[in-house]
C-alpha cells in the first residue's frame, strides 16, 4: 500500500461520517481493488466505533501516517458530532489479530444495529468480530421471505441469518455449526431481539456426521448454506460443497428454496451452478442476490456470491 493515498481515504471518510450513519456499515472497501494504494485496508462503522482493518502488515512509516490521519479525523468537526467512542486499528495479519486503540477506548461489549436488528460483536480477540457486513442484503432477503417457514441454517456462525429469519416471521430455525461458542453468541443475538427461543434450535455438530439428525428435524422450506472457504480438518469448499448439495433434495419441502453462498474469490458463480446441476439437478438457479453497494469489487466474481435455487 501507499501512504500517498491516505488523503483520499481521509476525504472519503469525512464525506460519509457527515451523514451520521445510524446503522453498522462498511465505509471503505479497499479489498475490492477500486482504490489504488489502499487494497489491504477496510473501514467499518460499528455504531460508535470506527474499525480500521489491515489485512496485510505494512512498514512502520505507513502505520505512522495512517494513525496520524485517523487522529486528524477524530479532531474534525464531522467526527465530533458523532458522539463516537473509539477508533480502532485491527491488525488482522499479525499473530492473534490484535486491535490497537488509536483514539478513545475499546468497550468491553459492543452491539450494532443492522436492518433494525441487534447483534453482539467481539472486537479485539479474533480475526472476525461476529457479523460479516457484506452479507447484509442476504440477511435482508431472508427476513423478507421467511414468514411461516421452517429454516435450516448451515455453518450458522453467530446466527445472523437465523435472527433475520425469526424477525421475518419464521416458524422455526435450526442452526448448525461446529463452534459451540459461536452458537452461544447466536443465542444471545436472538435474546437481544426478543425472539422466542422455543422456535430456535442450536446444534453444535459436525454437519458431515449429523445428516440423520438434520434430516429428521426437516423437511425445510428454506436451507441456507454459508460455508467457510477453508476450515482446517473439516471443510474445503472446492472439495466438500458437493457433499452438501447432493443431500438437499431429501431435506426440502416441495417448492423449497436454497440460499447458497460462496465467498472464495477464486471460484465464480459458474462453479456453484455447475455443482448444483450435477448433485441436485432438480434445483434450478433463480438469481444471484446483489452485494451491498459499498462492497464494490473490480471483479464481481471475486466478491461474495449469494445465489438462490428453487
Give the residue from 121, 147, 166 where a domain finishes. 121
Could you tell me if 258 and 185 lie in one domain?
A: yes
Could you tell me if 155 and 302 lie in one domain?
A: yes
Domain that holds residue 193: 133-309
Ramachandran category for residue 236: left, alpha or beta (phi over 0 → left; psi -120 to 50 → alpha): beta
Residue 133's nearest CA partner among 263, 271, 35 is 263
Q: What is the pLDDT at residue 110?
A: 86
Count of domains forming the chain: 2
Residue ranges, the chain, pLDDT below 70: 108, 124-125, 233
Mention every residue, 6+ apart, whose C-beta is less than 8 A from residue 114.
Answer: 23, 24, 131, 133, 136, 139
Give the residue from 91, 121, 151 where a domain finishes. 121
Q: What is the pLDDT at residue 309?
A: 98
The kind and range of the H/E element at 145 are: helix 136-145
Could you tell me if 80 and 219 lie in one domain?
A: no
Could you tell me if 96 and 181 lie in one domain?
A: no
| Cell (9 digits) for 48 | 460508535
Q: What is the pLDDT at residue 233?
A: 66
Contact 309, 257 (CB under 8 A): yes
Q: What is the pLDDT at residue 295?
A: 97
Contact 199, 172 (CB under 8 A): yes
Could you tell me if 141 and 244 lie in one domain?
A: yes
Give the residue from 98, 121, 144 where a domain finishes. 121
For residue 245, the domain's CATH number is 3.40.50.150
d(CA 268, CA 265): 7
pLDDT tens, 111-149? Answer: 999 999 999 998 866 778 889 999 999 999 999 999 999
**How much of the chain exceeds pLDDT 90, in percent?**
87
Amino acid at each position: 500500500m501507499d501512504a500517498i493515498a491516505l488523503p483520499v481515504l481521509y476525504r472519503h471518510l469525512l464525506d460519509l461520517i457527515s451523514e451520521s450513519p445510524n446503522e453498522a456499515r462498511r465505509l471503505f472497501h479497499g479489498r475490492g481493488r477500486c482504490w489504488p494504494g489502499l487494497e489491504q485496508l477496510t473501514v467499518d462503522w460499528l455504531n460508535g466505533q470506527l474499525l480500521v482493518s489491515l489485512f496485510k502488515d505494512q512498514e512502520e512509516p505507513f502505520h505512522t501516517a495512517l494513525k496520524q490521519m485517523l487522529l486528524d479525523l477524530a479532531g474534525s468537526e464531522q467526527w465530533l458530532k458523532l458522539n463516537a467512542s473509539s477508533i480502532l486499528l485491527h491488525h488482522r495479519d499479525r499473530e492473534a489479530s490484535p486491535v490497537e486503540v488509536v483514539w478513545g477506548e475499546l468497550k468491553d461489549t459492543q452491539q450494532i444495529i443492522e436492518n433494525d436488528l441487534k447483534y453482539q460483536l467481539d472486537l479485539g480477540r479474533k480475526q472476525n468480530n461476529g457479523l460479516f457486513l457484506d452479507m447484509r442484503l442476504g440477511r435482508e432477503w431472508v427476513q423478507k421471505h421467511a414468514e411461516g417457514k421452517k429454516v435450516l441454517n448451515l455453518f450458522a456462525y453467530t446466527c445472523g441469518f437465523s435472527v433475520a429469519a425469526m424477525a421475518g416471521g419464521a416458524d422455526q430455525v435450526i442452526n448448525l455449526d461446529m463452534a459451540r461458542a459461536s452458537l452461544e453468541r447466536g443465542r444471545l443475538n436472538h435474546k437481544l431481539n426478543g425472539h422466542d427461543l422455543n422456535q430456535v434450535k442450536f446444534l453444535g455438530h459436525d454437519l458431515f456426521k449429523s445428516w440423520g439428525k438434520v434430516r429428521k428435524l426437516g423437511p425445510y422450506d428454506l436451507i441456507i448454506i454459508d460455508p467457510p472457504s477453508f476450515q482446517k480438518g473439516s471443510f474445503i469448499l472446492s472439495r466438500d460443497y458437493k457433499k452438501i448439495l447432493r443431500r438437499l433434495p431429501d431435506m426440502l419441502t416441495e417448492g423449497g428454496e436454497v440460499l447458497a453462498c460462496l465467498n472464495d474469490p477464486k471460484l465464480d458463480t459458474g462453479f456453484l451452478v455447475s455443482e448444483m446441476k450435477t448433485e441436485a439437478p432438480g434445483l434450478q438457479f433463480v438469481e444471484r442476490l446483489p452485494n451491498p453497494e459499498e462492497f464494490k469489487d473490480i471483479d464481481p466474481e471475486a466478491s461474495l456470491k449469494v445465489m438462490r435455487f428453487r
